[in-house]
Amino acid sequence: MKNISICIFFSFICLSSFAQKFSASINAQLAIPKGDYQITNGNAGYGLRANFLYKPATTVPLKFGIELGLQEKARATQYFTGYAYGFYDNFKVSATSNIFSLMLLTRFQTPKIGKIKPFIDLTAGWNVFFSSVNIERLTFYSPYDNSYTKSTKAHWALSYGPAAGVDIPLNKRDDIGLEFKVAYLIGNNSLYLTDPYIDNNANVSFAEKNSRTDMLIPQAGIRITIQ
């Protein structure tokens, strides 16, 4: 999850710095399960979400682009002391359930009304469900690689839906602003692993579940535009 978050962040920095008519935003997200998904796996997810948009003409109130997101649905962490690699050492074992989002996005944005610019998004793409286990050696002077991560097989689910929000410019040039929006994404049925559990022997297990994957996703963050 850390590596994907870093990729989202640097993609945001790069895209926002090289061309005209582009905008990019990076937001904190809270994903609230709805419908069958809430009954089957009711934990809210949290993480980052970023969009990269292109406006083909200044006179047309439409933007097109992509949206990437990463959220963590559940986490379990345990600390252990014992033998590994022939050494007595301290270990941290973490297990997470995660969702990576890859979406196409179309935005209709009105001219400024007072101090805000309302917009409506139409989004369609995929949510990718995966779980991971990380084992980290905590001894600083360890001669071995200090961590090991393994991810489960990913399960893809089609997702689509609308979003509405506002953009609040923070300067006269309107090259930076605050972005607030709420999306409702209708998700197809998917198999996923959740509720990670770590026993006293450092064995990790997950609960396997299957349901539709509808979500309500409030978001808030920063937008940068190259005029």
* Cα 97 from Cα 150, distance rounded (Å): 12
For residue 225, the one-letter residue type is T
What local confidence, expressed as pLDDT, does residue 111 receive?
Answer: 85
The owner of tokens 């040039």 is: 173
Do residues 226 and 16 touch, judged by C-beta distance below 8 A?
yes
Could you tell me the pTM of the whole model? 0.84
Q: Token digits for 62?
A: 């439409």
Query: What φ, ψ does residue 8 adopt, rounded to 5°?
Result: -60, -45
What local confidence, expressed as pLDDT, does residue 103 receive?
Answer: 97
What local confidence, expressed as pLDDT, does residue 135 receive?
Answer: 86
Reduce the DSSP state of residue 143 to 3 states and report it.
coil
Point out which residues pair with 40 in neighbouring strands. Answer: none
The boundaries of the domain holding residue 36 are: 2-225
What local confidence, expressed as pLDDT, does residue 147 receive?
Answer: 72
Domain tally, the chain: 1
What local confidence, expressed as pLDDT, does residue 9 receive?
Answer: 52
What local confidence, expressed as pLDDT, does residue 85 receive?
Answer: 55
Report how far apart, in Å, the C-alpha atoms of 154 and of each of 36, 129, 163, 216 are. Answer: 21, 6, 26, 22
What local confidence, expressed as pLDDT, does residue 137 receive?
Answer: 81
CATH number at residue 16: 2.40.160.20
What local confidence, expressed as pLDDT, does residue 34 receive?
Answer: 97
The DSSP H or E segment spanning 38 is: helix 36-40
Residues of the chain with pLDDT under 70: 1-20, 84-87, 140-146, 227
What local confidence, expressed as pLDDT, does residue 18 receive?
Answer: 41
Q: Find, among 63, 93, 120, the residue nearest to 196 by Cα.
A: 93
